[in-house]
Structure 1
Amino acid sequence: MSKAPYRVVVNWEWTSKCNARCAMCPRHAIANPTISREDSFEQTLARLDPRDVFRCVIAGYGEPTTHPLFDRYLRRLRGHPVTFDMATNGSRLPEARLEAMDGVLRTLMVSFSSVDPQVYQSVHTNLDQDEVMANILAAARVLRKTRLVINLSPTHECLDTLDDTVGWLRSNGVNDLHMSPTYYDRAGAQQTGGQPDTERLRTEIRRHGLGSQETAFIPGAAEIFRQWRSNRVKCVPRNTNMLISATGDYTYCFNDISESRSLGHVRDTSLREALERREQMEEEGRLCSQCNLRSRYGPKELARVAVSYVKAQMAA
């Protein structure tokens, strides 16, 4: 039986390969992009215990829908006691796949930058904007049990065309729109500079009535307290998440893009054991010193996040 004093979000990477080269994604730091093997997939699935995990997001640093076994993996999730969500760039969502997702995933999160073709191509490089926009409309039409969320990219270019983007989405009945209040520099690996500060992002979030992605990884005030109490390193983003990479390794932090510090492999290490190993570790030097997320939450911010989460749950 689990001895977990708190629960975490598991960020589960099915593949670190991607069909896009997005401006905000530091893919240059991934030395050997790979796909998860079927044995490590099954081992990971067996490690996901709802007493340790309050949410599992299929994401990582790759595009999960490009995995050659994606549809088989998706079917294996059905009936599992953990709640599954998925983040995608929206490029590979045919209607048959959307129908298969409906009810298996709680939330389908599509990353979208702008209705402006030039802005879209500058941010979501290599993707077909028309195809992605058509897939978003198809998802809105097909999904009945799975919630569709659009995660809007927080770059200067996207903010400059945000009015048109939000207008197009809402005019087509797509209303669950979110944006992160922080532009991640991903522990110093980000190569795009001069991006909007938190204050501008929060202003745009309020002005357009967007959801804030910060609530998505916070299970509630009590859980935050247990996470804080159980970890010597007082970093909410780190302590709230556990990334399981496409290789099957537990990683120290989501921002450890190069996977320099493995906490064990799903083959022979449980999630709780990986968390306990991380709790005994000190800060990771350069990885932590160059990260802009650790100071993201102050005491007042945590209180606001907790209240926002409760309100969102009540509304849902």
Structure 2
Amino acid sequence: MHAIDFERARDAGHAVQLAQQGNTKFIGGGTNLLDLMKGGVEQPIKLIDITRIGLAEISELPGGGLRIGALARNSDTANHPLVRSRYPLLSQALLAGASPQLRNMATVGGNLLQRPRCPYFTDTAFSMCNKRLPGSGCAAREGYNRMHAILGASEACIAVNPSDMNVALTALDATVQVTGPGGARAIPIAGFLRLPGDMPQTEHMLQPAELITSVDLPPPAFTANTFYLKVRDRTSYAFALVSAAVALEMSGGAVRQARIALGGVAHKPWRVPAAEALLVGQPVSEARARQAAAKLVEGARAFKENRFKIEMAQRAVVSALRRAGGMA
């Protein structure tokens, strides 16, 4: 590992100023970044410690929503009374991720930027990875691809976003607040993470030197009827093969609004508004749940080892809809 400069930021403005010096990285919990640095995947010349700039508070917004500071720890966020009571879907998703020790260190901002766990990306012994070495090819397409994408992939990359939290935030229509050299701006979660296209090395819409300051949740329309289902190889410390975040607003036994986000199937959490619309205006039923699930995976393209994901994703959605809609 090469020599690395280290500097502690005083506040958010100071952090942004320091980040304009070139190949620098912000470090909070470091649970993803340090692993990638040890493996030689990330090679910053400077780390900017942002752990003492505030941004860990979780507070109510004037309009009834919730602001979660970017440096709030995953465990603190999952167990915060306002998150548990108003946004149980987010709490469930956070508690499904990693291990208690990692959740105690990991931050909300870092979780948003969590990088794919594709072995061809994380192991520098492989020379083909467009995400790590643009233009080199995608070894996963013809290699080991059991964990990989069935939706939204490209010829350049079939990796998936590994975050459980991002799936719940997508279903909840969260907004990412950032600050940078050009000032502050708000980015809806749906537009914050991106599909690979022909630039898989670019996973989000942050500009150079921009810093995530918080994640804002809208007023809670989905509280009583939500469920996060994670299907994985083991029940602890495993990434999702498929996950489903379902949030329903019910009135008189019928669905007024529906949100469904799939994880483990694409480069970003996968939502299809047309699938959600199939549920609106009537009670949740097995038939409608199956129709919505089928709509969600329309156009799916599987590879040699992940064909099972097309059926698994649909079953996960139906199961989560049963739980959220009170059918189970």
User: Normalising by the residue count of structure 2, what TM-score does the alignment of the two structures yield?
Assistant: 0.31
Determine which structure has more spread, i.e. the larger CA radius of gyration. 2
Between Structure 1 and Structure 2, the one with more strand by share is 2
Which one has more relative contact order, counting CA pairs under 8 Å at least 6 apart?
1
